[in-house]
A = this chain, B = another copy of it.
Amino acid sequence: MNDDFMEEAIAEAKQGLSEGGIPIGSVLVRDGKIIGKGHNKRVQDGDPMTHAEIDCLRNAGRIGTYKGTTLYSTLMPCYLCAGAVVQFGIKKVIAGESKTFPGAKEFMESHGVEVIDIDSEECKQLMQDFITVKPELWNEDIGE
């Protein structure tokens, strides 16, 4: 757990917000270095599959094994993103918060993933401010 990496994920979330998108960001880390980052692009790309974590993992490219990687996300991963974590064998996830959205924490844990929720005020505020303004967009993003 390194605050600088969550700061990078938050910077990605803010970048998404500045593009008119949903403010969720993610970074993938290995050996103390960021090897991928991304943010939700539902609005920007008209792409319902590009959640922040998916964008991040896409941008990391074909890295082969995910052994030793840690995925940071400003929000607890949903089933789509948690499914990627489980399928590709990412063993550690650090989430900015899970108050806005509980996500699929238990699902990941049941597959041996260590999940840490840092309950960040900044991450919660980002989502709350966004949902107050665009509740429909948020509901669309989580399939509700």
The interface of chain A, by Cβ under 8 A from chain B, is 42, 46-50, 54, 57-58, 60-64, 66, 78-84, 86-89, 104, 140, 142-143
Contact = CB atoms under 8 A, between A and B. Distances in A.
A48 to B, nearest CB: 6
A105 to B, nearest CB: 13
A84 B83 contact: yes
Contacts of A58: 47-50
18 contacts: A46-B61, A48-B60, A48-B62, A48-B63, A49-B49, A49-B57, A50-B58, A54-B54, A66-B143, A79-B83, A80-B83, A80-B87, A80-B88, A81-B83, A82-B83, A83-B84, A83-B86, A89-B143
A49 to B, nearest CB: 5
A109 B61 CA distance: 31
A112 to B, nearest CB: 13
A87 B42 CA distance: 15
Contact of A84 (B63, B80, B89): B80
A62 B83 contact: no
